[in-house]
Copies of this chain bind each other. A is one copy, B any other.
Amino acid sequence: MRILLIGAAGRLGTAVEKTLADRGHEVVTVGRSTGRLRYDVADPEQVAALYGDPALYGGAGALDAVASAAGDVVYNPVADMAAGDYASSFRGKVLGQIELVRQGIAHVAERGSFTLITGVLGRDPIPTSSAAAMANGAVEGFVRAAAIDIAPQRINAVSPTVFTESLPHYGDFFPGVPPVGVMEVAQAYVRSIEGGQTGRVYELS
């Protein structure tokens, strides 16, 4: 398959790219400052430019899948959040991924798929995570509903807990929480892209 992967430079994106490439897929990587194509999908106009980029198609026709492994949100206690922090978190993790779908419908194969990233904090929050939880809940609600509208195209979300590989940096924020390895999370992308399900949130925790 020909797969557009956003956020391929991150810890998870790197694992997803390797996993998909090892399975014989052609992965076109996109990032703000790394990747084959350079776009910031948090900006809806750059999403339009991305889907309009001739390099994306290269004679191979429609995309078979769009996969996202990126999203930025603000971490702070509710009382310390600034006026714009929830709106910027919405743009950074919700709107960009929604625009990949809304604008991508016309560029993805009839039975192609979208796979978005959320995370454990929507269901199991930690202190300072209200914007992350808001964003994850938003994406998961969108995925469940959008699946109805876009069929036979499919859409799923991958919702991992803290990565085993991130424990040295973030482990203290997740006391007692079992971590998940990024290669296991990457398998959820395979499941979403190569499988037949839609409207699912694959929880890895």
| Most B CB within 10 A of own CB, among A83, A105, A142 | A142
A residues contacting the other copy or chain, number (CB 8 A)? 46
Which 6 interchain pairs have the tightest Cβ spacing? A137-B141, A125-B145, A133-B145, A138-B138, A137-B137, A133-B141
Given A137-B141, A144-B133, is A102 in contact with B127 using a C-beta cutoff of 8 Å? no
| Inter-chain pairs besides A121-B141, A137-B140, 11 sampled, C-beta below 8 Å | A86-B94, A86-B99, A90-B138, A122-B141, A125-B144, A125-B148, A126-B145, A129-B145, A130-B142, A133-B141, A135-B138
Copies per assembly: 2
A86 touches B98 (CB 8 A): yes
- A149 at interface by CB-CB < 8 Å: yes
Looking at A29-37, A62-70, A74-82, A178-186, the stretch in contact with chain B turns out to be: A74-82
Q: Is A190 an interface residue (CB 8 A)?
A: no
